[in-house]
A and B are shown apart, each in its own frame.
Chain A
Amino acid sequence: MTYWIDILDQILIFSIFATSLNLLMGHGGQVSAAHAGFGAVGGYGAAYLAQKHGVSFVPSVLIGVALALVAGLLLSLPAMKLSGEYLILLTLTAQTVALVVISSVEGLGSEFGLTEVPAASLFGHDFLRPKEFLPLLAVVAVGVWIICGALAASGFGRTLRGIRDDEIATQALGKNTFLTKVAAFSIASALAGLGGALLVYYNGIAAPGLFGFDVSMSIIVMVVLGGSGNLLGALLGTTFVVGSAAVFEKVINLEPEKAGLSRLLAYGLALTLVLLLRPQGILPPRAGGARWRFGRKAAGAPAPVPADEREHAEHAPASLAPPPPDGRAAVLAEREPPPVDDGPVPAPILELRGLSKAFGGVQAVHDLTFALPEGRTTALIGPNGAGKTTIFNLITGTLEPDAGQVLLRGDDITAMPMHQVARRGVARTFQDVRIFGRISALENVRLAVPGRARNGQDDRSAIERAREQLAFVGLEEHAGTPVADLAFGDQKLVSLARVLATGAEVILLDEPASGIDARWLEKTLDLMAALREQGKTVCIVEHNLEVVERLADHVVFLEAGTVTAEGTMQELKSQSRLVEAYFGMA
């Protein structure tokens, strides 16, 4: 019996590691190969204080956690600026350094470790045997699950999932993705420190072998195997990885050494097979966030789209009455250009002054000056390579100009970080949609609603607002569908709803009408007309001049990164040079 309680205790301890890494990796998409290393910081910190300075159980554990928190914070400052292989490399390196340091510093017992860690004790009660540890570990582990679950379900967790699916798009919604990642990394590291301290007290020893690179690997395995982004999955993965040794030893009756090896072989193979056969892990991530906290959420969310209806969404044009061959042209022909406003040109809300940007030897934007009049729709047109998308990138801080200024209501916002530009009310869409594919349409839009949910009230009103925007673009019936499962046209509409949910006054739309069919074109044109009615300032980049003609009050013609003509579409069309150079081809 003691054997099985020991296994259960280990599962509880490692679930702390796995649950916290799941927050970082499953939700935030940031890998850490140093999780055991942070466990070592917490574990050795606690053991050192307890053994050498007689600090008692609780304070030593808390200090260990604090040390791991600080170490995580310090590492995350550079690490969270890195991506991909560099992040893997930096965390691998940190793990290595941590291990070499603890196994060679004499004060920490070198390769033998700190071998006389006093027994954990609480309220005069000593924890010595696995049975005595069980309730303590259960309480702490459940506490950690609750913390991680609550964080995952909060706005913080939503931002993390946005970062996982598309970091740039998340910044464009006004989120400070760097700070969010730093916070996630630090919290995960602190919790790893907690796991490490408990592991040390449980074993009565702080030894390098408890925190080796293989342990970091096995924690990653626990997260991926069970299903990253899923709290229960992390528990399941932990149970599998820790418990499989017991199964090999006690159920299949292998000798302990063989059992240990078989276990490692089994979970190594299981990991590879799960990735190949069931990439989302044993339990799938939930599109809407953690379930166990939001019992009511499940009730409030719309029923999942039936399979046949999703089919319908994906192959919509085919299942409708066959659209006329020139469906888009027909839609456009029905439309009138916007009413001509003879009044004075409104004051500019956004101004670009003498902007220049070169990429290597290519001058993408050169001494560019124009303004967006408030409440009007401005279109940027021009041949390919005229620098249209670059201009959006310069306005929103994605790129830093070599010279010139961007002014929003007279304030200099040049090269301001993207999320700050977004918070000041300039939001954008992207040519390549950049939607958060694995989360639901509603969550996509809700992520964009500014402000942090501090209580249930705010939370509900944010959901309300997201739902309204989704209804505005006509997608309320798809609210619960992961966006990757929607048709491309619907994805574009979700990205539009997302931009609207930010409440921005200035909306930059990159080719809103490209790549979509007549049905969505009609919807998109309606929406843009509605935005105009609402008094939003809109700037579109668009190749289709008929679309431009029907939407824009004001057209800016760009060639080789600079403005060569400006005015209404009618005015531009009357310039013979432009007709030859550009319109003739359209």
Chain B
Amino acid sequence: MMIAAFLGIDSFREVVQALANGLISGGAYGLMGAALALILSTTGRFHFALIFNYTLAAFLAAVLQADGVPFGLAVVLGLAAGTLSGVLCEAVVYRPLARRAGADVLLTVFVASLGLVIAGENAIRLIWGSDTRNLTGPADKTIEISSVVLSAISVVSLAVYILIAAALALVLARTSVGRQIKAVRVNPTMAGAVGVDVGRVFLLVFAIGAFMAGVVAVFTGMRFAVTANMGTTPVFYALVVAFFAGTARGPLTVMAAGLGVGAIESLSTLWLNSKLSSVVVFGLLMVFLCQATLRESISRALRRRRGAARRPVPVDAPVEAA
């Protein structure tokens, strides 16, 4: 307790509760991050429109449910639509763009995906309205484990997220499809040369990524609300997580980074205004991005300094001439 008082918090229960909350939101960050990392590292596409794939899955499920479709079917259809939208982003927009963009492909695809995000969100608003919707699943219960209170759905969601990440890791490691994805990731040209259908692998990766995002969206919609702009924040966190872990890392590593980021964010609310907790996360990412580059330039400058301090070399030193 003394330590707790020293740290300015009421009790360890509070810390454990914050940690549990953090891990639950961290699971969502982790799965989103794994989806984004899979797409970015395999295809090289900065698929910002994952925002749209995410939103569409939850929004369509909520709309269908409101129209009387049973919950389970609504979720399946929503996930299918979200997955399909991811595949279409690649097939209809990114692929034709990349074919022509040459060296600028990363920037061009990023800008196009911004266009898709803007158009997609507002198409949803125009078609179904801007009102907040609900996605009502099985009734939620609260579970209490030694005075830490959690929602049952959130615990289930965390388990599902981790299972999906593990399944993806298994697919990548053990199946021939997984080996194809990894081959394309390392060297698309070479993979194509040995008979991998690179275009198909790209589509598959977009489908997997959009599906993973859809799962997170459905759980988030059940716990909170469904809105047309619900995808932006999760994708920002996914970016943070994916880059902390390293985009080329496996899904379980990214998941671990997600859990860590969730925990740090949640624990920071013990000391900080909760509105600022995202600053902690994004601030850490900024420091992370900045320090690598600064460290490199400083060490290079130091080496040069040392080099310059060496004794001047006599100009007429012997040279091995012809």
Contact = CB atoms under 8 A, between A and B. Distances in A.
Contact of B293 (A81, A224, A409): A81
Interface in A363-393: 369-371, 373
Given A85-B106, A100-B278, A268 B116 contact: yes
Contacts of A269: 115, 119
Given A31-B110, A261-B125, A276-B96, A400 B46 contact: no
B276 interface: yes
A319 interface: no
Which 5 residue pairs spanning A and B have beta carbons closest together? A268-B119, A268-B118, A271-B115, A410-B315, A78-B290
A554 interface: yes
A357 B285 CA distance: 33
Contacts of B240: 93
A554 B110 contact: no
Interface string B114-135: 1111111111011000100000
Given A90-B289, A96-B282, A371-B319, A264 B114 contact: no
Interface of A: 29, 31, 77-78, 81-82, 84-86, 88-90, 92-94, 96-97, 100-101, 103-104, 213-214, 217-218, 220-221, 224, 257-258, 261-262, 264-265, 267-272, 275-276, 279, 345, 348, 351, 353, 369-371, 373, 400, 405, 407, 409-410, 412, 414-416, 554, 563, 566-568, 571
Interface of B: 40, 46, 93, 96-97, 100-101, 104, 106-108, 110-112, 114-123, 125-126, 130, 232, 236, 239-240, 243, 247, 273, 275-276, 278-279, 282-283, 285-286, 289-290, 293-294, 296-297, 300, 303-304, 307-308, 310, 312-315, 319-322
B106 A84 contact: yes
Task: Kindly name the residue among A217, A369, A373, A563 whose own CB sees the greatest number of chain B CB atoms within 10 A.
Answer: A217
A78 B293 contact: yes
Contact of B320 (A89, A271, A407, A566): A566
Contacts of B320: 369-371, 563, 566
Contacts, number: 169
A93 B286 contact: yes
Contact of A89 (B117, B243, B308): B243
Given A221-B118, A275-B112, A104 B276 contact: yes
A29 B236 CA distance: 23
Given A29-B107, A92-B239, A348-B319, A261 B289 contact: no
Nearest to A218: B118
Contacts of B114: 217, 220-221, 268, 271
B115 A405 contact: no
B239 A265 contact: no
A166 to B, nearest CB: 8
Nearest to A369: B320
Given A82-B293, A370-B320, A568-B322, A272 B126 contact: no
Contacts of A93: 240, 282, 285-286, 289
A271 B110 CA distance: 11
Nearest to B110: A88
A412 B106 contact: no
Nearest to B247: A85
B115 A275 contact: yes
Given A78-B289, A93-B286, A221-B118, 5 more contacts: A31-B107, A92-B236, A93-B240, A268-B119, A353-B313
20 contacts: A29-B104, A88-B107, A89-B239, A89-B289, A100-B275, A100-B276, A100-B282, A220-B111, A224-B111, A261-B125, A265-B122, A269-B115, A279-B108, A348-B319, A369-B319, A410-B313, A410-B315, A412-B312, A566-B321, A567-B322
B290 A373 contact: no
B296 to A, nearest CB: 8
B104 A415 contact: no
Contacts of A29: 104, 107
A309 B108 CA distance: 31
A217 B236 CA distance: 14
B311 to A, nearest CB: 10
Contact of A267 (B118, B273, B314): B118
A103 B278 CA distance: 12
A97 B319 contact: no
Given A93-B240, A567-B322, A275 B108 contact: yes
B232 A279 contact: no
Task: Kindly name the residue among A85, A86, A92, A414 whose own CB sees the greatest number of chain B CB atoms within 10 A.
Answer: A85
Task: Kindly name the residue among B106, B110, B279, B289 whose own CB sees the greatest number of chain A CB atoms within 10 A.
Answer: B289
B248 to A, nearest CB: 12
Contacts of A412: 307-308, 310, 312-313
A271 B112 contact: yes
A123 to B, nearest CB: 41
Contacts of B279: 97, 100-101, 104
A272 B96 CA distance: 11
A279 to B, nearest CB: 6
A264 B40 contact: no
Contacts of B283: 97
A303 to B, nearest CB: 27
Given A272-B112, A566-B322, A416 B278 contact: no
Contact of A271 (B104, B118, B296): B118
A278 to B, nearest CB: 11
A415 B321 contact: no
A265 B100 contact: no
B278 A96 contact: yes
A495 B150 CA distance: 66
